[in-house]
């Protein structure tokens, strides 16, 4: 039975590592996965597990973009270090809207918005948005091509779009990439900046969830800690591959395939919800 639980943790880590970075909503996939695969742990620990495995995913960003994000590198000139610090400043500005709204409303949003119909609607609406925006931007040059050329205003605008990701099914990467494109930022730069903002956002969310778990007096068994470690490591490894894939993909393609996939997934989530309701 323990082996089966670890296999489940591996599958959940794989799903997190893929769906956290592609603009397809990790929540929608986890809802469907929960219909067929559930860890043999308490609901409280399961909530902790799903948030903390994001740590592995965010570490993948730090590893892949370490050179670009490291302001202390001796290989960089003084000007390049200043540019790196400036990039971090824009990341902080970008994450502020979601932090100011998401932290105080975390429990309220989770209680009232984590519903099948909302997730399905968000999947479908944003899927349509990707298709429409890509069609409208066809053969149109972007105002900002590189993430280094983002202004603080651009960062704030993208951060405001990230607030929409507080709605389950929206997708954090999906909302920030769409926001970037709507403000004239290229697909590549939007994706990169989305990845960079994920580091403090996901780290903060994980630490907040751990703190709540501890303060509420919950404890984890050795098996649960093992499952958490396995899920986090798998999420890290899969995230490395997923991020590399997406950065290569956006250089040659647009996001319409993801829009179509989101619509199909949203319909599937809705069908599952209706079947459960009738049953």
Question: pLDDT of 100-156, one tens digit each?
Answer: 887 777 667 777 777 888 888 999 999 999 999 998 887 788 999 999 999 999 999
| Residue in the structure block whose two tokens are 């902790």 | 48
Q: Is the pLDDT of residue 241 over 90?
A: yes
Residue 102's pLDDT is 76
Q: Is the pLDDT of residue 41 over 70?
A: yes
Q: How many domains does the chain have?
A: 1
Q: Is the pLDDT of residue 272 over 80?
A: yes
Q: Is the pLDDT of residue 171 over 90?
A: no
Q: Is the pLDDT of residue 227 over 80?
A: yes
pTM for this predicted structure = 0.86
Average pLDDT over residues 258-271: 92
| Domain extent for 142 | 2-278
Contact call for residues 192 and 178 (beta carbons, < 8 A): no
Residue 279's pLDDT is 67
- What is the band of 60 on the pLDDT scale with cuts at 50, 70, 90? very high
Residue 25's pLDDT is 85
Average pLDDT over residues 236-261: 92
> How far apart, in whole angstroms, are the C-alpha atoms of residue 278 and residue 276?
6
């Amino acid at each position: 039975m323990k082996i089966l639980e670890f296999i489940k943790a591996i599958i959940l880590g794989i799903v997190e590592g893929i769906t956290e970075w592609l603009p397809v909503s990790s929540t929608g996939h986890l809802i469907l996965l929960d219909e067929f695969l559930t860890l043999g742990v308490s609901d409280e620990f399961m909530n902790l597990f799903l948030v903390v495995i994001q740590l592995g995913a965010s570490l993948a960003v730090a590893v892949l973009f370490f050179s670009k994000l490291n302001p202390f590198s001796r290989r960089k000139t003084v000007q390049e270090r200043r540019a790196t610090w400036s990039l971090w400043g824009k990341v902080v500005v970008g994450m502020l809207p979601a932090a100011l709204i998401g932290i105080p409303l975390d429990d309220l949003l989770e209680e009232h918005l984590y519903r099948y119909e909302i997730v399905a609607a968000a999947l479908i609406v944003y899927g349509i948005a990707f298709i429409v925006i890509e069609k409208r931007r066809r053969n149109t040059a972007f105002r900002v091509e590189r993430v280094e050329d983002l202004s603080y205003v651009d960062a704030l605008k993208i951060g405001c779009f990230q607030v929409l990701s507080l709605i389950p099914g929206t997708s954090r990467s999906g909302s920030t990439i769409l926001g970037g494109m709507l403000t004239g930022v290229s697909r590549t730069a939007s994706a990169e900046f989305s990845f960079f903002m994920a580091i403090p956002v996901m780290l903060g969310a994980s630490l907040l969830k751990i703190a709540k778990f501890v303060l509420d007096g919950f404890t984890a068994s050795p098996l649960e800690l093992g499952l958490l470690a396995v899920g986090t490591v798998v999420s890290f490894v899969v995230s490395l591959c997923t991020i590399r894939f997406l950065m290569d993909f956006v250089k040659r393609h647009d996001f319409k395939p993801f829009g179509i996939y989101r619509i199909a997934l949203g319909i599937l989530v809705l069908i599952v919800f209706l079947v459960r309701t009738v049953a």
